[in-house]
Amino acid sequence: MELVILDTPEAIAERAADAIEELLTAKPDAVLGTATGSSPLPLYDELTRRCEAGRISFARVTGFMLDEYVGLPEGHPERYATFMERHLRSRVDMRPGALHGPDALNPDLQAACEAYEAAMAAAGYCDLQILGIGADGHIGFNEPGGPLDSATHIDVLTEQTRRDNARFFDGDIDAVPTHCITQGLGTIMKARKLVLIATGENKAEAVRQLVEGEVSPQWPATVMQNHADALVLVDPAAASLLTAARP
- Residue of 87, 103, 117, 138 marked active site: 138
Does 138 qualify as catalytic in the annotation? Answer: yes
pLDDT digits (tens, 9 = 90+) for 166-190: 988 999 999 999 999 999 999 999 9
DSSP-derived pairing of the beta strands 67-70 and 179-182? antiparallel
Q: Averaged over 233-237, what is the pLDDT? A: 97
Q: Is the pLDDT of residue 245 over 60?
A: no
pLDDT digits (tens, 9 = 90+) for 194-218: 999 999 999 999 999 999 999 999 9
Beta carbons within 8 Å of 185's beta carbon, 6+ residues apart: 139, 140, 142, 146, 147, 148, 149, 150, 220, 223
pLDDT digits (tens, 9 = 90+) for 85-136: 999 999 999 999 999 999 999 999 999 999 999 999 999 999 999 999 999 9
Exposure b/e, 82-112, CB count within 10 A at least 16 = b? bbbbebbbebbebeeeebbbbbbeeeebeeb
- Residue of 67, 68, 103, 235 marked active site: 67
Number of domains in the chain: 1
Q: Averaged over 47-72, what is the pLDDT? A: 97
Residue 247's pLDDT is what? Answer: 46
Residue 47's pLDDT is what? Answer: 98
- Residue of 143, 155, 164, 235 marked active site: 143
- 75 assigned to some structural domain: yes
Q: Is the pLDDT of residue 10 over 50?
A: yes
Does 179 qualify as catalytic in the annotation? Answer: no
Residue 37's pLDDT is what? Answer: 87
- Structure confidence at residue 222 as a pLDDT band (50, 70, 90): very high
Range of the domain at 43: 2-238
- 111 assigned to some structural domain: yes
Residue 75 or 232, more confident:
232
* Average pLDDT value over all residues in the chain: 95
- Residue of 46, 68, 127, 136 marked active site: 136
Beta carbons within 8 Å of 74's beta carbon, 6+ residues apart: 81, 105
Q: Say which CATH number the domain at 231 has.
A: 3.40.50.1360
- 243 assigned to some structural domain: no
